[in-house]
Structure 1
């Protein structure tokens, strides 16, 4: 189970954008990277072309670049960054007992709700 998921509010704890907060747009587990809204912005040169309506596209665009997952921390409801852990909880579904893993905040030990 991943500690950071798409849609989570995270804070950058290292690097050029340290201190900024944003929502996770995409998680790239194979490379241990995340793309965070408004963080790690870089300029990308795009070749000129045309779209279906005939408008010219291309030029210099500013996009979010992936940053390493170790450089972000999940933000709890109180607005402070928190370390993430896991806890196994036994739940009953359809008359059967199953084990469910839930994310917990290490500071309070409570389940992380989004």
Structure 2
């Protein structure tokens, strides 16, 4: 089971600090998970400039130029944010049994472990 999924709130835990122009400490929502490459795209983190070829649409408006988009970041460089404390935390799994319409199912559920100084 994946520890980080699309839509999760994560924090960058490694790299250059924000004072040095980096992204460490920034929090953002996961826009995309690239499983084969072990990378995630996080909203507002790791911006790169793309050069888009200039073209025209059928209406005659010009497209292209310079675009800034979020680039993928390695999954080991982000940590899931605990919804209670708003601090990065580790992720655990527990097995629960749920009953739906009289049928019991065993499912694995993600949960945030304790984070910060309260360990």
Extract unaligned runs of 5+ from structure 2.
17-22
Alpha-carbon distance between aligned partners in 1 of 2:4 and 2:81, rounded to the nearest angstrom: 10
State the Cα distance separating 1:95 from its structure 2 match. 1.3
Distance verdict in 2 for CA 1:99–1:52, change over 3 Å? farther
Aligned to 1:75: 81
Alpha-carbon distance between aligned partners in 1 of 2:27 and 2:57, rounded to the nearest angstrom: 34
- Count of residues in correspondence between the two structures: 108
Aligned counterpart in structure 1 of residue 109 of structure 2, from 91, 98, 102:
102
Provide Cα deviations, 1:85-114, integer angstroms capped at 9, x if missing partner: 111101111211110111011217xxxxxx
Q: TM-score with structure 2 length normalisation?
A: 0.85
SS of match in other structure, 1:70: helix
Q: TM-score with structure 1 length normalisation?
A: 0.89
Alpha-carbon distance between aligned partners in 2 of 1:80 and 1:59, rounded to the nearest angstrom: 38
State the Cα distance separating 1:40 from its structure 2 match. 0.5
Aligned to 2:11: 11
Aligned to 1:65: 71
Provide Cα deviations, 1:1-40, integer angstroms capped at 9, x if missing partner: 2111111111000123111111111111111110001101
Stretches (4+) displaced over 6 A: none
Aligned to 2:39: 33
Cα root mean square deviation, aligned: 1.2
